[in-house]
Structure 1
């Protein structure tokens, strides 16, 4: 599957340029625009590939959804762009995709940053969101305000609603969702899963956690170090799972420093 993507060439490069290539991977219900601020921050000295993962954004939709398939999609895209080795930044589900890439083909991954997710099987965290989305006929609404009001009956968090509204697309009659809700719902168990328990990635990786988030817990440390023995960790205070938005400057700085320090 050839994913939708955007390339941002490093602003500072020349004919002998060897700037790092970094793929940016969004989370569940997201799109490539979610990491646009990070892309702009890194773009001065790095080549950036922003990606819509399968069943998200403007990438093809499929009846299948697994980390093996999503990792394969990333390598297929890299091959189509004649990119052999690269680094990755992934948030949430995108972080799991990044880890899956590193563990399945470590020779092709230079380093990676994983934002607020761990290599573990998660409990159900999204049933209320799925319930809310599945209860609505988006074609019946005329404005985003109306959709927001309808979602607010089941989703209290204005931040979550705002995030979901980013994937609304206006059509002739009402709205449609950019992500494939049916497949994501049917394969949510695969999204919560972690099938790479025995593989090891022996290169640099940075985990960044929101201090108020429960996605990376102290009890996950052994799971992380078992598969990523060179893992580093940073915690961003006054941030939860949306750390890349709530504390964008801090998050972007930490990512930039990591890649600068580990430049090939």
Structure 2
């Protein structure tokens, strides 16, 4: 069986074990590595998976600023320390931007790249995340009794129960009461950075790239295709029917089948 582990970037000590090939998953804004747990299990036994908590998320360390290039380099360094081989890299949304930058800056580390519902350019609309993070900021953690109360307080601001449950996974109880695992204040104030994409210069990644988009999502458009091809000449676009932005959670079977069709079960020698 493949070995699943949350690899944290920052003060926490990461460890992994198992045989190659490894699939490294990078989550989206305000997510955690474990968001991909079901997909990672579905890739067993042919693959082992590394579930990354990006900086300022999950159990990884917090930073003073959000820098997508620095984030990509940190993830690359951590993966190199734990996986003694090239990896398949899967990134969703914010994680997709980090994955693209990592592949462009560290092509020797990446065998195949999967970019999920995001493009290598400015995001078309970050207002949804501005609303979601602003809604979370209305919670008074000092007097909060628990997740059930938080869910109730957010019901009118965030009517979608699935989205609320996803966001509230970030709440955890500490000796000081309820706290956010993610760096909510920094992420909220840095949405312009999160929604952007730094210039890549003349860099390209010439390996195989799968560009998975949700059929109902508005996070990518046909206008992104030229930029995607310029940076990733071998990119192939696949639209998953019935999926919005969270492709892997909305259509997990279709997403898993798409991954299995794209990822080879062994690395080139």
TM-score of the aligned structures, taking structure 2 as reference length? 0.88
Distance in 2 (alpha carbons) for counterparts of 1:139 and 1:245: 32
Which residue among 169, 181, 185 is the counterpart of 1:182? 185
- Residues 95-129 of structure 1: CA distance to partner in whole angstroms, max 9, x if unpaired? 11110101112122111111111111013231111
Paired position in structure 1 for 2:147: 144
8 Å Cα contact 1:3/1:52 also seen in 2 = no
Distance in 1 (alpha carbons) for counterparts of 2:83 and 2:243: 37
Stretch deviating more after TM superposition (50-59 or 60-69): 60-69
- Residues 59-95 of structure 1: CA distance to partner in whole angstroms, max 9, x if unpaired? 1111121111111111221232253522201111111
Task: Extract unaligned runs of 5+ from structure 1.
Answer: 11-18
Paired position in structure 1 for 2:4: none
| Structure 1 residue 124 corresponds to structure 2 residue 130 | no
Q: CA deviation at 1:170?
A: 2.0
Paired position in structure 1 for 2:171: 168
Paired position in structure 2 for 1:60: 61
Helix, strand or coil at the partner of 1:139: coil
Q: CA deviation at 1:172?
A: 4.5
- Residues 211-255 of structure 1: CA distance to partner in whole angstroms, max 9, x if unpaired? 110112112111111111100111111110111011111101111
Task: Extract unaligned runs of 5+ from structure 2.
Answer: 1-8
Q: CA deviation at 1:21?
A: 1.8
Q: Rate the CA distance shift 1:76–1:137 in 2: closer, same or farther, 3 A.
A: same
Distance in 2 (alpha carbons) for counterparts of 1:8 and 1:89: 19
Q: CA deviation at 1:261?
A: 7.9
Distance in 2 (alpha carbons) for counterparts of 1:140 and 1:172: 14
- Residues 143-194 of structure 1: CA distance to partner in whole angstroms, max 9, x if unpaired? 2121011112322222221110111112346421110112212222111110
Which residue among 228, 239, 253 is the counterpart of 2:257? 253
Which residue among 198, 221, 225 is the counterpart of 2:225? 221
Q: CA deviation at 1:8?
A: 6.0
Distance in 2 (alpha carbons) for counterparts of 1:117 and 1:137: 32
Paired position in structure 2 for 1:95: 96
Distance in 2 (alpha carbons) for counterparts of 1:230 and 1:262: 20
Distance in 2 (alpha carbons) for counterparts of 1:116 and 1:78: 23
8 Å Cα contact 1:9/1:48 also seen in 2 = no
Distance in 1 (alpha carbons) for counterparts of 2:222 and 2:138: 36
Paired position in structure 1 for 2:136: 133
8 Å Cα contact 1:116/1:210 also seen in 2 = yes
TM-score of the aligned structures, taking structure 1 as reference length? 0.90
Q: Rate the CA distance shift 1:159–1:206 in 2: closer, same or farther, 3 A.
A: same
Which residue among 198, 209, 212 is the counterpart of 1:208? 212
Paired position in structure 1 for 2:10: 2
Stretch deviating more after TM superposition (191-200 or 235-244): 191-200
